[in-house]
């Protein structure tokens, strides 16, 4: 078999995905009009699949901060922080993030993926054990794999399954790391962090929570699900991204453990990557300020999320277990989900399609991410578009 | 090959047959009997998610934990039996 022959399988997958007319993995938004609107194939389209939970990508203060940073500090850093130096804004943002989460230590990475890869690869070593939620994001899997640690999965959000594995680890449990997300991005369900924290304390383990989709969305001050569930101060490491609620690109880890400051010496994804550009750091700094000072953004987001969730359920669609800014509709077979997604796009609603094996089970899903920037009319238009396609799912039944 | 190894293999075969049946894999009938050489991916088109789900079922049935790193070179029922036997011995 030749080196390039393996791409035949990828070609076949692409052809299967494109059978409805559009490749769901290759949608081009020709023009961005606002956080929730764009032009796709010449059509005005509601963006309901962009993780732009607070709509801050077009926030005037964030844009001004980014513009000022470009003018005063230039377009890029042209190197890694370890080899080529940090800008003072990088260090300031690390302190800012630590303060936001009420801990002393923070670290900024160039992407959310790098944050997970870099934190886990440094925290874990060969011979360590990590217990990973089965539905955890690929970046968490990859970070664990990069570390060389022994990786054991527990059933998604299943506290009993987690405890069973802690018991099986025996003495190793007190040195193991438990890895979960706050809000899971496919079904929009939250981790039972109160119970998970109790277990990690019972067995003496450490806990890392990825708040990528929950930052800015959950908790009194927008710190995420751990804050919302009242256990943030008992979590050892919180990782997250700038590319969702914060409307930029990058990632972070914060911790009460001073060892986080040493992670940078052991983290190849931190050491060997160019640091974030000044405009990204500046707009992220401003976005954190917006999250703190404008709780009404969260209120609008939750109102929109509640309406979309209710609208889909009233139509008889099967959604996730709880209202969240991620609203997924279960569509069963890929043969139903593909035309459904295509027709939504043609009706001017952009969503995310998930088919096996990328979905958490054997079903296909269409996922909407709700934004505080969606108007009530846009939310109703999304519901109407789904309603008009209900017949496709009934044909399958 | 000792009795214990054979018992483990037989149990894996039964669990695999049951998993294929519940996860809608009609090719089981065409494949015929599951043997030690049966390849989970190429014989039954199990995708990566299904392989991981089946591993979880094995873990629960045998009351062991399977390190995900050990799966990269695990393709057949025989390969799985080696891993599980080792875990049971530890």
- The answer to whether residues A147 and B68 touch, using CB atoms and an 8 Å cutoff, is no
Q: Which of A153, A168, A356 lies nearest to residue B68, judging by beta carbons?
A: A153
**β-bridge pairing A177-181 and A31-34:** unpaired
Separation of alpha carbons A265 and A91, rounded Å = 16
User: pLDDT digit of tens for each residue in chain B (90 aa)?
Assistant: 578 888 999 999 999 988 888 877 766 666 778 889 988 888 877 888 888 889 999 999 999 999 999 888 888 999 999 999 998 987
Find which of B25, B59, B62 to mutate to test the A interface (most A CBs within 10 Å of its CB).
Answer: B59
Q: Is the peptide bond before A357 cis (omega within 30 degrees of 0)?
A: yes
For residue B28, the model assigns a pLDDT of 67
Active site residues of A: 185, 213, 244
Residue of chain A whose Cα is closest to the Cα of B87: A168
Contact A276, A250 (CB under 8 A): yes
Query: Cβ contacts (< 8 Å) between A356 and chain B: which residues?
Result: 47, 49
The secondary element (H helix, E strand) that includes residue A178 is: strand A177-181
Round to whole Å and give the CA distance between A108 and A252.
Answer: 4
For the stretch A212-254, pLDDT in tens is 999 999 999 999 999 999 999 999 999 999 999 999 999 999 9
What parts of chain A have a pLDDT lower than 50? 396-397
DSSP classification of residue A183: B
Q: How far is CA A215 from CA A52, A140, B44, in A?
A: 12, 17, 41
State the DSSP string of B36-90.
TT-BTTTTT---HHHHHHHHHHHHHHHT----GGGGTT--BHHHHHHHHHHHHH-
Show the tokens assigned to A206.
């450490």
Assess contact for A123 and A263: CB atoms under 8 A: yes
| A134, A151, A361 member nearest B67 (Cβ) | A151
Tell me the pTM: 0.95
Which uninterrupted H or E stretch holds A31? strand A31-34
Closest to A133 in 3D by CA, of A189, A51, A203: A189
| Main-chain dihedrals φ then ψ at residue A133, nearest 5 degrees | -60, 135
Q: How far is A385 from chain B (nearest CA, A)?
A: 31
What does the buried/exposed string (b/e) look like for A137-166 if buried means 16 or more CB atoms within 10 Å of the residue's CB?
Answer: bebbbbbbbbbebbbbbbbbbebebbbbbb
Residue pairs spanning A and B at CB distance below 8 A: 39
First to last CA, chain B: 19
Contact B6, B84 (CB under 8 A): no
| Nearest-CB residue to B69 (from A150, A356, A359) | A150
Write down the pLDDT at residue A80.
96
pLDDT at position A397 is 44
> What CA–CA distance (Å, rounded) separates A195 from A363?
28
CB < 8 Å to A153, chain B: 52, 55-56, 68
> pLDDT digits over A113-133, tens only?
999 999 999 999 999 999 999
Q: What is the rounded CA–CA span in Å between residue A197 and residue A56?
A: 32
Whole-number Å distance between alpha carbons of A258 and A374: 40
What integer pLDDT is reported at residue B49 of this predicted model? 82
CA–CA separation, A328 and A314 (whole Å): 14
Q: Is A238 helix (H, G, I), strand (E, B) or coil?
A: strand
Contact A145 B63 (CB under 8 A): no
> What whole-number distance in Å separates Cα of residue A351 and Cα of residue A71?
36
């Amino acid at each position: 078999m030749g080196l390039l022959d393996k791409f035949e399988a990828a070609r076949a997958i692409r052809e299967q995905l494109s059978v409805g007319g559009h490749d769901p993995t290759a949608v081009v938004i020709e023009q961005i009009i606002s956080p929730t609107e764009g032009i796709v194939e010449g059509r005005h389209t509601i963006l309901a699949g962009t993780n732009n939970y607070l709509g801050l990508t077009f926030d005037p203060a964030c844009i001004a901060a980014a513009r000022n940073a470009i003018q005063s500090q230039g377009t890029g850093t042209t190197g890694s922080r370890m080899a080529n130096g940090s800008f003072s804004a990088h260090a300031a943002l690390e302190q800012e993030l630590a303060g936001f989460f009420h801990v002393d230590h923070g670290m900024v990475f160039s992407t959310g993926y790098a944050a997970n890869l870099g934190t886990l690869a440094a925290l874990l070593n060969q011979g360590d054990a990590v217990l990973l939620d089965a539905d955890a994001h690929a970046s968490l899997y990859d970070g664990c794999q990069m570390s060389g640690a022994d990786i054991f999965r527990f059933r998604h959000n299943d506290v009993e399954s987690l405890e069973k594995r802690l018991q099986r680890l025996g003495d190793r449990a007190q040195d193991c790391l438990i890895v979960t997300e706050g809000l899971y991005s496919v079904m929009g369900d939250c981790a039972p962090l109160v119970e998970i924290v109790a277990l990690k304390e019972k067995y003496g383990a450490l806990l890392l929570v990825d708040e990528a989709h929950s930052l800015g969305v959950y908790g009194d001050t927008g710190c995420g699900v751990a804050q919302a569930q009242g256990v943030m101060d008992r979590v050892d490491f919180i990782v997250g991204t700038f590319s969702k609620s914060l409307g930029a690109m990058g990632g972070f880890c914060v911790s009460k453990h001073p060892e986080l400051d040493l992670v940078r010496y052991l983290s190849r994804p931190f050491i060997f990557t160019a640091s974030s550009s000044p405009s990204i750091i500046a707009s992220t700094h401003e976005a954190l300020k917006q999250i703190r000072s404008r709780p009404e953004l969260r209120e609008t987001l939750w109102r929109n999320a509640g309406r979309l969730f209710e609208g889909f359920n009233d139509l008889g669609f099967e959604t996730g277990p709880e209202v969240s800014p991620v609203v997924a509709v279960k569509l069963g077979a890929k043969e139903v989900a593909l035309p459904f997604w295509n027709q939504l796009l043609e009706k001017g609603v952009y969503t995310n399609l998930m088919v096996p094996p990328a979905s958490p089970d054997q079903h296909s899903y269409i996922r909407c991410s709700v934004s505080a920037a969606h108007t009530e009319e846009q939310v109703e238009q999304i519901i109407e578009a789904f309603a008009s396609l209900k017949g496709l799912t009934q044909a399958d039944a | 090959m000792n009795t214990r190894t054979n018992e483990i293999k037989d149990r894996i075969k039964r669990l695999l047959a049951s998993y294929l049946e519940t996860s809608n894999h009609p090719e089981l009938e065409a494949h015929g009997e599951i043997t030690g050489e049966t390849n989970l991916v190429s014989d039954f088109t199990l995708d990566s998610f299904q392989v991981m789900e089946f591993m979880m079922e094995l873990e629960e049935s045998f009351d062991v934990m399977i390190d995900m790193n050990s799966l990269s070179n695990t393709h057949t029922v025989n390969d799985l039996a080696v891993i599980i036997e080792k875990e049971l011995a530890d």
